[in-house]
Chain A
Amino acid sequence: MSNIFQMFKKDLIRFMNDKTAMMLTFIVPIVLIIIFGNIFGGNNTSRGKAHVIFVNKSNSEIAKLIEAKLDSSSNIQLIKKYRVEGTDSILSFTEDKAMEYVRTGKHAAAVVFPSDFLLDTSATMNIKFYYDPRNEIESSIIQGGIQQTIFSQLPEIFPALLARQANNFLGETKANGFRNDMANMISSYFNIPKDSILKFASTKITSGLLKQTSSDSTKNSFIENLINFDSEQLVGKDLKNPQVTRIVGGWAMMFLLFTLTGIATSLFEEKQEGTLRRLLCMPVTRTEILLSKYLFSLSTGIIQLMVLFVFSWAIFDVDIFTNFTNLLIVIIISASAAVSFGMIITSHATSLSQANGVATLLILVMSAVGGAWFPTFLFPDWLQVVAKFTLTYWSVEAFQQIMWRQAELSAITLNLLILIAVTVIFNLYAINRFNKGKIF
């Protein structure tokens, strides 16, 4: 054990001596997270908006109000028009056209406010939502965004709506009295200041209202008690930067795969310099040499991932702290598995370029097939089966559960067990081969 530690220390000293290598270890993940983050999600700027077809068939003013709010939403981009194929004419979407567009995969989802969006007597808003189940994450983001917008506007809309009804039935003067009574009643029942209710009730629905933003929590709780909005489970609804959160596990695994060649490179280097043979002529075992390399690769892998995650938190607001312990466990176990894959390659490669070639191939194939680049649910069925034979799949899946769904460890037990098993088997195999002294 002390030999392993001494040789590990040696690699560390050499690493610290190599300022360029050390800088790269930290800079590469940072640069990549900035580039990828901006491509895939960005900082909640317009680039990151989810696109959704929007059709408003209702002529209710409330519908118009909500449409306007959605228009100015920071995470949803409404698409209301389309170009007729083969011509230059641009038309507004109809409900049928919207459905067709979603069905053919041109857009992920469509929102329709039907003509019965808000009936005169009803307190429920009807919204139709069409989406392609293959794009379930994006659909969830859209649904979440719409709900959020509606919820945030309801406190303003509802009293105004009631006021309008009162005016219609009672006339202007009597309606004022009604408003007072109503405000008294609401405030006593729901324990919110009468003033704030009156303020909205006396406001005509005008464009001035549209400029109001609402974030007062008392109003929200008032509405939530009044209307029971039956929502589906909205995955990732609370995440500040869902796009980056979704992809960060994939990058993490890709990073780990780049450490695959670490052991091979370092061993071939030492072979070339002759220091490997010198080590072998010292009272250390081959197993100890290999394990010290393993430990070193593992440490750099883990440090790189930590840098990656901390930066995705600092720049893109990805939440890494809520589930931090679990995240750390997944990082360590994934790194162990990835490095053990490198051990296998090292134990079979007869030259560094061969090791690099094989590793590059594996990195690309495993990243693509295992879901580091695209979610595997987008794959055809057979490829989804193949994906399960890659390390990447189990690791990315675990990262997703931890980051996207904030899952408990129990949800990823299988993933972790598979990764640990791979680590143990690969390492034993590699050590066994290395001990035979065929290559080094």
Chain B
Amino acid sequence: MLKIENLTKNFGKITALNNISLEINSGEFFGLLGPNGAGKTTLMNHLIGFLKADSGTITYNDELVKFGDKQIKRKIGYVPQEIALYQELTAYQNLKIFGSLFKLSKKELSINIDKALELVQLLDRKNSAVKEFSGGMKRRLNLAVSILQSPEVLLCDEPTVGVDPQSRNAIFEMLQQLNKQGITIIYTTHYMEEAERLCNKLAIIDNGQIVASGSLTDLLNTLDRKKTIKIIKTAETESLYDKLCEIAAVNVFDFKYEIIQNNEFQKDSQLYTYFEKIGLSSNLIEVSSASLEDVFLHLTGRRIRD
């Protein structure tokens, strides 16, 4: 349905998008996972026709999405990364102002406003000024404003940044509800857990490039090992650090070392034998099942949140 082909965008010397190709199908909850500065927002901006690509094309239902395209904006809703609301106005005024730009009939607009307010659970606060809202309420209203035209696709650019866990869950549920109603959702985030929890299709973006894409299982399958091995940092393990590095790449964190998959030790048993050999006590070893974090680490050699 939404097809991105060889999209490239430079900002001066920075290549924000580097030859990106992706396909998103109708009804998907599509996750775009990547660290800050990866190019997620830039890609979103192209999908909505807000930015002009240097090369490459985007098509929506086989129609070209052009820069400044008015039509696409009726079909695609966009939840910006930042709170994009008139703070001094009420929730209702904001909805009315932005909604009025979709050329809906008065009745249709007022129905849609009510529906949106209900979805984000702000009906009782609709006459309060936005600046009096909590971070979570603002996020919810930010979402409500983006669905007034009943879009076919909803772009959500990190909609949970700066939100308390309770509001975050509420936003997840709202999006899942919209998805169930048939709205295709494209969701960017740098939180692995969010992507794992919400998305049935995923793409991992780093440095303006798509490094992997597919379903969660597809992505986890790219890992040879379905488990991560971490070693707790102590005086003992610190003295063994050099030896660990002889058999595997080791990522150093504040409290832990993380052993990165190494082809020489295909089997876990070989690793454990080695640990025993160098005298690493087994209670300092943590094993957990692999996550998107590991996929990212495996693909880029870095953790997603540095």
Of the residues A10, A280, A283, contact of B103 by C-beta under 8 Å: A283
Chain A residues near B88 (CB, 8 Å)?
14, 17-18
Of the residues B51, B89, B100, B101, contact of A17 by C-beta under 8 Å: B89
**Does B37 sit at the interface, judged by CB under 8 A?**
no
Chain B residues near A3 (CB, 8 Å)?
101
Chain A residues near B48 (CB, 8 Å)?
281
Chain B residues near A275 (CB, 8 Å)?
84-86
- The DSSP consensus for interface residues of chain A is helix
Q: B102 to A282, Cβ gap below 8 A?
A: yes
Given contacts A6-B100, A280-B50, contact A273 B87 (CB under 8 A): yes
Q: A274 to B73, Cβ gap below 8 A?
A: no
**Does A97 sit at the interface, judged by CB under 8 A?**
no
In the complex, what residue of chain B is closest to A436 when comparing beta carbons? B52
- The DSSP consensus for interface residues of chain B is loop
CA distance A279 to B103 in the complex (A): 14
Q: A286 to B68, Cβ gap below 8 A?
A: yes
CA distance A3 to B50 in the complex (A): 18
CA distance A190 to B297 in the complex (A): 113
Chain A residues near B100 (CB, 8 Å)?
6, 9
Chain B residues near A273 (CB, 8 Å)?
82, 84-87
**Does B167 sit at the interface, judged by CB under 8 A?**
no
In the complex, what residue of chain B is closest to A278 when comparing beta carbons? B84
Give the size of the chain A interface in residues (CB under 8 angstroms). Answer: 25
**Does A55 sit at the interface, judged by CB under 8 A?**
no
Among residues 235 to 277 in chain A, which have CB atoms less than 8 Å away from a CB atom of chain B? 273-275, 277
Q: A2, A10, A278, A280 — which one has the most chain B CB atoms within 10 A of its CB?
A: A278
Of the residues B50, B67, B68, B87, contact of A277 by C-beta under 8 Å: B50
**Does A284 sit at the interface, judged by CB under 8 A?**
yes
Q: A274 to B68, Cβ gap below 8 A?
A: no
**Does B59 sit at the interface, judged by CB under 8 A?**
no
Q: How far is the CB of B127 from chain A (nearest CB, A)?
A: 13
Chain B residues near A282 (CB, 8 Å)?
73, 98, 101-102
23 A-B residue contacts at CB 8 Å?
Answer: A2-B103, A6-B97, A6-B100, A9-B97, A10-B97, A13-B89, A14-B86, A17-B88, A273-B86, A273-B87, A275-B86, A277-B80, A277-B84, A278-B84, A279-B98, A279-B101, A280-B50, A281-B73, A283-B70, A283-B71, A283-B73, A283-B102, A283-B103
On A, residues with C-beta under 8 Å from B are 2-3, 6-7, 9-10, 13-14, 17-18, 273-275, 277-286, 435, 437
On B, residues with C-beta under 8 Å from A are 48, 50-52, 67-68, 70-71, 73-74, 78, 80, 82-89, 93, 97-98, 100-103, 145
